[in-house]
Structure 1
Amino acid sequence: MPPGPWLCLALLLAARAQSSWNPRPSRAQPRRPSDPGSARHARSYHHLEGDIRWRRLYSSTHFFLHIGPSGRVEGTRQPHCPNSIVEIRSVRVGVVAIKAVYTGFYLAMNRRGKLYGTREYSPNCKFMERIEENGYNTYASLRWRHEGRQMFLALDGRGAPRQGGRTRRQHLSTHFLPILVS
């Protein structure tokens, strides 16, 4: 007669108790890198660095980000305006540079939170890109803060850029959808 399932389970548990095999080491035991399979590898996101995307940044205030031939930053309602096509280049993980494709201006923010276009790439041109819970992206200046708070790219209800010190991550004016250029 074959052994019952409880007997098999009891024999298996007794065999494991006698062996030194432990499927889950306790947190009190330090892991040694010399043990095979115990070294923990840090995640690598180097494949994201240098990534280039052509998009139109559509604000939740119903404007496309537009960097004009003079470097002026504003919003436009024209969906096919060539000056609203931007190149979003990954500088490092989570940090991007935004450049208007046709005018050649980089989006930048100065110490006071004013948005402007510049021909030369500088630390003012780096923005932290974050995907929010609602699916929109926010772009905060990597270099500048206002009273310890991040300053965000934002277009108000008239399409004018908002002062960075008056923006918050929760404001709808800071939320952008990167729309694929077709």
Structure 2
Amino acid sequence: MLITMDAHLLFPCLMMLLAMCMDYHCADANEDQGNQLRGLWRLSMKDPKQKGVPPPHPIRGLVKQQLLYCRVGIGYHLQVLSNGTVGGVHEPTEHSLLKVFAMKRGVVGIRGIKTGLYICMSQEGIAHGAVQFSSDCLFKESLEENHYTTFSSLSHPGIYLALSHKGEAKRGTSVGRLQPCTHFLPRRAP
């Protein structure tokens, strides 16, 4: 009787062990696939013109329009104009409709729907619109304690996307994450 009891307990243990191994294998396969995709993305980012391929377009799937509201001054919505100027406007316009898309956990890109330009940050802390997506267009997205979001440059740590009291893009090197000029709130487009 003791032998059948042990065999009876052994079967569920073996099944659980098999399931854990399969989960582990699947997790490894998903991680390997993710690493391969990141590697391909990095490779395509190096110099797409040299290889004769079009520049990478990281946005996939359905494009959802949203506004990024900054609470500084009278309140402004972030916008990117056709000439590459980044700034703010009090009442939303077609240039303030944006797509914030995830590149990996906590890292996003921001693209103007109307202009098709990506918001990027230079080493000097100047925000501008660019046709081609690059590492300067990657932002670390952080949810602050007050439920607003800050966007700091991934390529140039400590440099934040910010708007002045007049709605102009502020130099990102002169602001910090606790200042209201760096706080943005995602809003649905009208």
Deviations 1:68-118 (A, max 9, x none): 111101111122x00000011101111000000001110000111100000
Identity of aligned residues (%): 30
**Structure with greater proportional strand content:** 1
Larger radius of gyration: 1
- Provide the residue aligned with 1:23 in structure 2: none
CA contact (8 A) 1:53 1:89 kept: no
Q: How many residues align?
A: 140
Corresponding residue of 1:113: 125
Is the partner of 1:83 in helix, strand or coil?
helix
Which residue of 79, 83, 86 maps to 1:66?
A: 79
Superposition deviation, residue 50 in structure 1? 6.3
For structure 2, list consecutive stretches of 5 or more residues without a partner in the other structure: 1-15, 35-58
The structure where helix makes up a greater share of residues is 2
Paired with 2:81 and 2:60, the residues of 1 have a C-alpha distance of 25
TM-score, reference length from structure 2: 0.66
Aligned to 1:12: none
Number of the residue aligned with 1:173? 181
How far did residue 54 of structure 1 move?
2.3
CA distance in 2, matches of 1:59, 1:107: 16
1:76 and 2:84 are equivalent in the alignment: no
Moved over 2 A (4+): 35-39, 49-54
Q: Normalized against structure 1, the TM-score is what?
A: 0.69
- Quote the offset at 1:180 in angstroms: 1.1
Q: What whole-Å deviation, never above 9, does each CA across 1:12-65 have from its counterpart, x for those lacking one? A: xxxxxxxxxxxxxxxxxxxxxxx95999x89x9x8xx96864210100110110
Give the conservation status (yes or no) of the 8 Å contact 1:67–1:74. yes
